[in-house]
Structure formats: C-alpha cells, structure tokens
Structure 1
C-alpha cells in the first residue's frame, strides 16, 4: 500500500515536455505543482516527477535531501489524498512537483504542505 514503484515515476521525455507546455499548474508554497490529464495506459492513477532547482540549491546533497523528503511525504499520503478521488472519477494524470522554497524545511512541514497540494490537486482534477 505504502509503496513508490518505478511505474509511478514519470520518466517519459515526451510526456514531461507535454506536461510543461500544455499542463495546468498552481503554487502552494514551497511547491509548484503542474499536472495534466492523460489517456496513456498506466498502472497507477498518477505518474509523478519531483524536482529541485539546481540554481537555488548548488549542492547535490541538498537537492537529494529535499527530493527524498518530498518522495516520502508523497508515498505516505497518496492513497488517501489523491488515489481514491481519481479512481472514483476514473481519471489518470501526470504530475510534476517542483520545490521552490528558499530554505530546506523540516520533514513534518513538508508533509503537511504535500497533503495540502494533493488535496487541492484532487479537487481541481475531479471538478
């Protein structure tokens, strides 16, 4: 249940390009979420990509720390926050969550913000 497998990660260059050119996005500090409905055949309701700007965080260890915290927060909350709503509406999306914060936030703060992003996204997609 609380897994984050390879099939859930967004790796396809064509899909990523389409997401950033034609997708919708919103801000929920410290995250920027871009999403797009997709009809591609995928095992899970959401395929997701996490990113942290190299321009803002020069050291790879900092970028990796933030991405690790984002992935963990997503992994624990995806089922209740977004999967159930998307499965009920029979929709599939691709999603990108970028970190735009100016400082490295502790995990508990990131977890609350990730929940907020996912519930806001579920509401937008379903309507």
Structure 2
C-alpha cells in the first residue's frame, strides 16, 4: 500500500478547480464535503486532491493550517480505499465546513465515512 501524497497528486490547476465547482458533484458528511469531477489528469496520476478551510470561521491561519494538515493526513490514509474501488481519474476538493476546531480522531472518523459515501455513490452511478 502506498500512503504517500506526492506533489503531482496535489490539485493546483485553477481552471480545473473552477470547472469542478461549476460542473462537479459533491458528497458530504458533516463537517466535511467532497467536491469531485471525473477528469483526464496528466501523467500516471489517478487522483489530484486539494483541501480548503473557510477563513470566515477560522480567522487565524494557524488554525486553518492545522485543520488542513489533518485533512491531508486522513486523506492520505484513505486514498487506497478509493483506488481499490475505481479505475477512473478524479479531481477532488475536500472542504471543512464546520465552525468548531476539530481534533484528529474526529476528522479521521468523518473522512472514513466520507470516502465510503463517495464509493457507494460512484458504484451506484456506473
């Protein structure tokens, strides 16, 4: 199992992000929301993923960065579940929509539920 999150798997393309929010689908498991779009990605990359935390609820960058670290770390552990279930290429954006500061275990639990919901949604839509 590969638990890395290398640079080429990070979502950086502004046009792809805009397209994702305009035309993509979403699943959510409060306080996490996963916006995704099926996409043709460069190289041999299966997924590209970005994370975001609202500045509205977390004024201090320290708090936003901590939550983003939690999101990236939990995604890194869960991405193999997605890889085992699908062969398509996707671009993901994981959003934290809650108002309170979470701890790591809470984010990990919600990320597992979110990934399961995504997999069920995608298997149903095939």
TM (norm. structure 2) is: 0.91
Per-residue deviation, 1:125:
2.1
Q: Is the 8 A contact 1:50 1:97 kept in 2?
A: yes
Partners of 1:101 and 1:73 in 2: CA distance: 17
Query: 2:51 maps to what in 1?
Result: 50
Q: How many residues align?
A: 123
Q: Is the 8 A contact 2:27 2:117 kept in 1?
A: no
* Secondary structure in 2 matching 1:4: coil
Structure 1: 5+ residue stretches without partners = none
Query: 2:103 maps to what in 1?
Result: 106
* Secondary structure in 2 matching 1:27: strand
Q: Map of 1:79-98 to 2, 5 A cutoff?
A: 79=80, 81-86=81-86, 90-98=87-95
Per-residue deviation, 1:104:
1.1
TM (norm. structure 1) is: 0.91
Q: Is the 8 A contact 1:7 1:43 kept in 2?
A: no
Query: 2:37 maps to what in 1?
Result: 36
Partners of 2:38 and 2:107 in 1: CA distance: 25
Query: 1:12 maps to what in 2?
Result: 13
Moved more, 35-44 or 60-69: 35-44
Q: 1:125 aligns with which of 91, 100, 122?
A: 122
Over aligned residue pairs, what C-alpha RMSD do you find? 1.2
Per-residue deviation, 1:118:
1.1
